[in-house]
């Protein structure tokens, strides 16, 4: 009995698992797990990992991304410009080879520290080590560092820049390249700093005043309503001047000023935010003087804002055609953290995507609904019968509009159906069926004929005739 | 129960409903309103039709009408009630462990079973599959035997 049991237990396994024994020629050596920075995963493939195709792909991606960042830095290498201390916190640079964060605090020129880092000996060493470790070609090393000659040139340029700056304008830091800011802007920054220290209670009841005092401080040249040329990128600041307000303004107006000054000081500032600012101040807006064309539309928007908002203020503010902010205008604006948006209540970034579609101010719900609908239109193009569906939709629309008269379907149309007992494609089975269909009436005719000719039909004959057509047995449940 | 769902008696009607149901699963039940099992199935279909309305439509076909016999032959309907599934005018097969993958034979044990089946069909069809696996466990799938031409 036990023998049998054993033999049953040791049934020959059709797919024996390959267990690496001590003498097996298993090429896979187990090595310690290590982390590949490029592929962002741990692996125990050891030295072989860097030759795998997935790794080489990730490596080329990785390096090209870093290369982009370095080209940005090289731009500033050729054109040194002065770094404003306020912007310094933004220009951080992570060197992937050294695993170190290079920031720009205390540097007087843009990317100063980054350039010095890339030129450094340490960086070069680590770069070479990285290339070796991750299997990149060594000739690419020079792409990721800055040679000393170039750095020396750059330093010379910087020095000359500095000396020029100090000689030309005293007290105003004019830049030759990159940021042609004006003295007014400079003043603005000062104002801004002061305002920031004030507490801002702009959200309070003043908004719900029915009467909008006219704060329109005009320079007529500004109201030309020229188009807003899009985002102010790379180096152009929106130039804000707070209008001189009439003396009887309530104290909150100063806080409004501060909002705008603060908001618009940050460059680049895109249209939605500006217009959001303008709108959500409850119609109290300020005129933006700008030597460039950028903010002119804001002015014209602002004008229209007042006209509309004042009529809308008593009830819930629904739509404002010209500002892009889709947020409803409540007495208390929801605060958001973030550079400059906190107090102005400009539309949140996730709604900015829908802003381009409609210029109307509609409640948040509407925008949510419309964005849902646009998602639905992207049905999977690989779904079954997608082509048919598209065609049919178009046909149905045209029928609705009355362009095509509803044509009767071909009475012989059949959906594509793979029959039960068949092999081959559905088209073939359909053809088979059609052939059978054609045969059927012939057979049926014949059987009827035979019935009439021979008045007596034996049971055998009947059953044989019936078997000629495909069996249709109907069973209850 | 069948007054809650459309009953189709002509080939034209079946054709139009197959062609006009776009991006939704079309459930066609072939059966008789006098048959008890068909009525059981109809009951479940009617109750869940509304829940499926966003991604499915249900219709009943009476196999006793002559116009429809073409379809009865084409789809090889031998046992009733039989349910077929279409998506965008394409027939979708479902492997439920039975002999016939082209249709569902019999009633469903629960409303939820039916909804699960339609959902499986919808998901498969949206991914581009013409045959899907049945999500139900075997004990809830009605068993039957198919006869092949006198065999």
Three state DSSP letters for B45-60:
HHHHHCCCCCCEEEEE
Is pLDDT above 80 for B51? Answer: yes
**Does A409 contact B129 at a Cβ distance shorter than 8 Å?**
no
**Cross-chain residue pair B150–A471, CB shorter than 8 Å:** yes
Which of B88, B131, B150 is the best mutation test for A, with the most CBs of A within 10 A? B88
DSSP-derived secondary structure letter, B105: E
Q: pLDDT tens, A150-188?
A: 888 888 888 888 888 777 655 444 444 444 445 554 444
pLDDT tens digits, one per residue of A241-263: 444 444 444 444 444 444 444 44
Q: How far apart are the first and last CA of chain B?
A: 36
DSSP letter for each residue of A270-334: -HHHHHHHHHHTTT---PPP-SSSTTHHHHHHHHHHHHHHHHHTTS-B---SSS-----B-SSPP
- The CA-CA-CA angle for residues A346, A349, A353, to 5°, reads 110
CA angle A190, A193, A196 (to 5 degrees): 150
Q: How much helix, strand and coil, in percent to the nearest 5, is found in chain B?
A: 35, 25, 40
Q: What's the average model confidence in pLDDT over B76-85?
A: 89
pLDDT computed for residue A224 by the predictor: 45
Q: Does A456 touch chain B (CB under 8 A)?
A: no
A23 band by pLDDT with thresholds 50, 70 and 90: low
**Within 13 Å, how many C-alpha atoms sit on residue A403's CB side?**
6
Predicted TM-score (pTM) of the model is 0.39
Say how many residues make up chain A: 477
Please state, for a pLDDT cut of 70, what percent of chain A lies above it.
39
Residue in B73, B75, B90 nearest the CB of A385: B90
Taking CA atoms, B14 is separated from A386, A432, B35, B60, in Å, by 20, 21, 21, 9
CB contact under 8 A, B74 and A475: no
Residue A91 confidence (pLDDT):
73
Cα separation, A461 vs A418, whole angstroms:
33
Confidence category of residue A305, pLDDT binned at 50, 70, 90? very low
CB atoms within 10 A of CB A365: 9
How are beta strands B79-80 and A475-476 bridged, if at all?
Answer: parallel
Q: Measured between CA atoms, how close is A469 to chain B, in angstroms?
A: 9
Question: Which of the residues B11, B42, B73, B125 would you substitute to probe the A interface, choosing the one with the greatest number of A C-beta atoms within 10 Å?
Answer: B73
Residue A277 has a pLDDT of 41
Residue pair B20/B8 in contact (Cβ under 8 Å)? The answer is no
Of these ranges, A95-109, A281-295, A319-333, A394-408, the one predicted with the greatest mean pLDDT is A95-109
Asked if A411 and B87 come within 8 Å (Cβ–Cβ), the reply is no
What is the residue-averaged pLDDT of chain A?
62
A345 conformational bin, left if phi > 0, alpha if psi -120 to 50, beta if neither: left
pLDDT interval class at B124 (50, 70, 90): very high
Which tokens is B138 given?
């075997």
| Residue pointed to by tokens 């199935």 | B41
């Amino acid at each position: 009995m036990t023998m049998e049991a054993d033999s049953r237990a040791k049934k020959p396994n059709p797919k024996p698992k390959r267990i690496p024994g001590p003498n097996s020629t298993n090429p896979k050596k187990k090595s310690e797990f290590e982390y590949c920075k490029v592929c962002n995963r741990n692996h125990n493939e050891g030295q072989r990992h860097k030759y795998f195709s997935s790794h080489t792909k990730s490596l080329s991606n990785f390096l090209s991304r870093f290369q982009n960042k370095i080209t940005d830095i090289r731009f500033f290498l050729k054109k040194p410009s002065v770094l404003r201390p306020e912007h310094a916190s933004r220009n951080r640079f992570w060197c992937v080879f050294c695993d170190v964060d290079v920031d720009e605090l205390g540097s007087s020129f843009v990317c100063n520290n980054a350039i010095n880092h890339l030129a450094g000996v340490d960086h070069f060493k680590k770069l070479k080590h990285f290339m070796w470790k991750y299997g990149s070609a060594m000739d690419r090393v020079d792409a990721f560092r800055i040679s000393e000659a170039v750095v020396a040139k750059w330093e010379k340029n910087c020095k000359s820049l500095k000396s020029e700056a100090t000689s030309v304008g005293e007290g105003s830091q004019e830049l030759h390249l990159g940021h042609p800011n004006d003295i007014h802007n400079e003043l603005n920054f000062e104002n801004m700093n002061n305002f920031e220290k004030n507490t801002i209670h702009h959200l309070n009841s003043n908004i719900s005043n029915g009467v909008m005092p006219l704060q329109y401080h005009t320079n007529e040249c500004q109201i030309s309503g020229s188009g807003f040329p899009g985002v102010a990128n790379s180096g152009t600041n929106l130039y804000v001047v707070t209008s001189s307000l009439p003396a009887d303004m309530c104290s909150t107006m100063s806080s409004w000023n501060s909002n705008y000054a603060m908001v618009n000081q940050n460059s680049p500032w895109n249209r939605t935010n500006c217009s959001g600012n303008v709108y959500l101040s409850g119609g109290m807006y300020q005129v933006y003087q700008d030597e460039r064309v950028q903010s002119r539309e804001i002015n014209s928007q602002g004008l229209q804002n007042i006209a509309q908002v004042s009529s809308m203020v008593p009830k819930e503010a629904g739509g404002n055609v010209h500002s892009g902010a889709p947020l409803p205008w409540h007495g208390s604006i929801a605060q958001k953290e973030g550079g400059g948006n906190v107090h102005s209540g400009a539309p949140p970034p996730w709604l900015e995507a829908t802003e381009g579609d409609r210029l109307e101010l509609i409640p948040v719900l509407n925008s949510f609904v419309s964005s849902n609908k646009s998602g639905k239109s992207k049905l999977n193009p690989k779904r079954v019968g997608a082509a048919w569906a598209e065609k049919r939709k178009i046909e149905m629309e045209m029928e609705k509009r009355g362009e095509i008269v509803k044509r009767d379907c071909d009475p012989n149309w059949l959906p594509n159906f793979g029959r039960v007992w068949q092999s081959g494609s559905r088209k073939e089975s359909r053809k088979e069926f059609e052939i059978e269909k054609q045969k059927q009436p012939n057979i049926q005719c014949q059987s009827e004929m035979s019935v009439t000719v021979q008045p007596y039909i034996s049971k055998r004959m009947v059953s044989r005739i019936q078997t000629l057509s495909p069996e249709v047995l109907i069973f209850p449940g | 129960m069948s007054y809650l769902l459309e009953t189709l008696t002509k080939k034209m009607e079946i054709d139009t409903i197959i062609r006009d149901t776009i991006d939704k699963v079309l459930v066609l039940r072939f059966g008789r309103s006098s048959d008890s099992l068909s009525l059981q199935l109809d009951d479940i279909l009617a109750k869940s039709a509304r829940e499926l309305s966003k991604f499915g439509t249900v219709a009943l076909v009476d196999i006793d009408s002559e116009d429809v016999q073409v379809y009865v032959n084409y789809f090889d309907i031998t046992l009733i009630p039989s349910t077929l599934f279409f998506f965008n005018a394409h027939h979708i097969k479902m492997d439920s462990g039975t002999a016939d993958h082209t249709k569902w034979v019999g009633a469903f044990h629960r409303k939820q079973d039916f909804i699960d089946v339609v959902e499986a069909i919808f998901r498969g069809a949206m991914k581009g599959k013409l045959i899907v696996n049945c999500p139900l466990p075997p004990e809830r799938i009605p068993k039957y035997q198919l006869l092949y031409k006198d065999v």
